[in-house]
Amino acid sequence: MKKNLRNAFIAVLAMVGLNAYAQTEVTFTAGTEVGTNSEFGNPDKMSKSDVTIESTDASFATPQYRLYKGSKTTFSCTTAKITKIVITETAKAYKNKITGFNSENGWVVDGDAKTATWTGEANSVEVIAANNQVRAGKIEVTIAAADPTAIAAPTISGETTFTEKTTITLTAEGAKIYYTTNGDVPTEKSELLYTKPFDLTATTTVKAIAVKDGKTSSVAEKTFTKEEVKVVNSIAEYKQLAAKEKATLKLNDAQVLYTWTTNKGNTSTYVRDNSGAILFYQVGANLELKQNEMLKGEITGTFDLYNKIPELVYAAGLTNLAKVERTAGSDATPKAIKVGEAMDNLCDLVALDKVKFTVEASTDKKGNPVKKFYVVDGDKKVQIYNGFHLDAYKDMAFDAETEYNVVGIVASVYKEVPSINIIKVEKNTTEGINTVATETINANAPMYNLAGQRVGKNYKGVVIQNGKKFINK
Same domain, 88 and 135: yes
Same domain, 319 and 377: no
Q: Mean of the pLDDT values across residues 360-373?
A: 83
Please state which of the ranges 15-24, 51-60, 441-450 shows the lowest mean pLDDT: 15-24
Q: Which helix (H) or strand (E) holds 284?
A: helix 283-287
Q: Mean of the pLDDT values across residues 16-29?
A: 70
Which CATH number do you get for residue 206? 2.60.40
Same domain, 214 and 246: no
45-72 tens-digit pLDDT: 999 988 999 998 899 988 899 999 888 9
Which CATH number do you get for residue 411? 2.40.50.140
Per-residue confidence (pLDDT) for residue 99, from 0 to 100: 84
Per-residue confidence (pLDDT) for residue 435, from 0 to 100: 42
Same domain, 204 and 297: no
83-128 tens-digit pLDDT: 999 999 887 666 657 888 988 888 999 887 789 999 998 888 999 9
Per-residue confidence (pLDDT) for residue 12, from 0 to 100: 46
User: Do the domain assignments include residue 100?
Assistant: yes
Same domain, 30 and 140: yes
Same domain, 256 and 304: yes
Q: Are 426 and 435 in contact (CB under 8 A)?
A: yes
pLDDT value at 336 more than 50: yes
Same domain, 27 and 117: yes
Where among 144, 176, 193 does a domain terminate?
A: 144
Residue with more model confidence, 292 or 17: 292
Per-residue confidence (pLDDT) for residue 15, from 0 to 100: 45
Same domain, 53 and 101: yes
Same domain, 53 and 132: yes
118-162 tens-digit pLDDT: 999 888 899 999 888 899 999 999 998 767 778 888 999 998 888
Same domain, 217 and 277: no
pLDDT value at 9 more than 50: no
Q: Cβ contacts of residue 184 below 8 Å, gap of 6+?
A: 190, 207
> pTM of this prediction?
0.59
Per-residue confidence (pLDDT) for residue 263, from 0 to 100: 77
Helix (H, G, I), strand (E, B) or coil at 294: strand
Per-residue confidence (pLDDT) for residue 465, from 0 to 100: 65
Helix (H, G, I), strand (E, B) or coil at 462: strand
Domain ranges, residue 221: 155-226
User: Do the domain assignments include residue 238?
Assistant: yes
Reported residue count of the chain is 473
pLDDT value at 13 more than 50: no
How many CA atoms, within 13 angstroms, populate the side-chain half-sphere of residue 344? 14
Which CATH number do you get for residue 55? 2.60.120
Q: Mean of the pLDDT values across residues 185-212?
A: 91
Cα distance between residue 76 and residue 249, in whole Å: 35
3-state SS, one letter per residue, for 70-96 = CCEEEEEECCCCEEEEEEEECCCCCCC
Where among 226, 261, 285 does a domain terminate?
A: 226
Q: What is the mean pLDDT of the chain?
A: 85
Which of the 8 DSSP states describes residue 348? S
Where among 226, 245, 276 does a domain terminate?
A: 226
User: Do the domain assignments include residue 342?
Assistant: yes
| Dihedral angle, C-alpha 354, 358, 362, 364, nearest 10 ° | 0
The total number of structural domains in the chain stands at 4
Q: How, if at all, do strands 215-216 and 204-212 pair?
A: antiparallel
Cα distance between residue 382 and residue 378, in whole Å: 11
User: Do the domain assignments include residue 39?
Assistant: yes
User: Do the domain assignments include residue 460?
Assistant: no
Return the ∠ at Cα 79 (arms to 73 and 85), rounded to 5°: 40
Q: Mean of the pLDDT values across residues 334-350?
A: 95
User: Do the domain assignments include residue 107?
Assistant: yes
User: Do the domain assignments include residue 54?
Assistant: yes
Same domain, 243 and 218: no
User: Do the domain assignments include residue 444?
Assistant: no
Please state which of the ranges 10-19, 220-229, 373-382, 389-398 shows the lowest mean pLDDT: 10-19
Per-residue confidence (pLDDT) for residue 397, from 0 to 100: 82
Band (pLDDT 50/70/90 cuts) for residue 251 is very high
285-308 tens-digit pLDDT: 667 889 999 999 999 999 999 989
Query: Among residues of the chain, what percentage have pLDDT more than 70?
Result: 84
Same domain, 384 and 412: yes
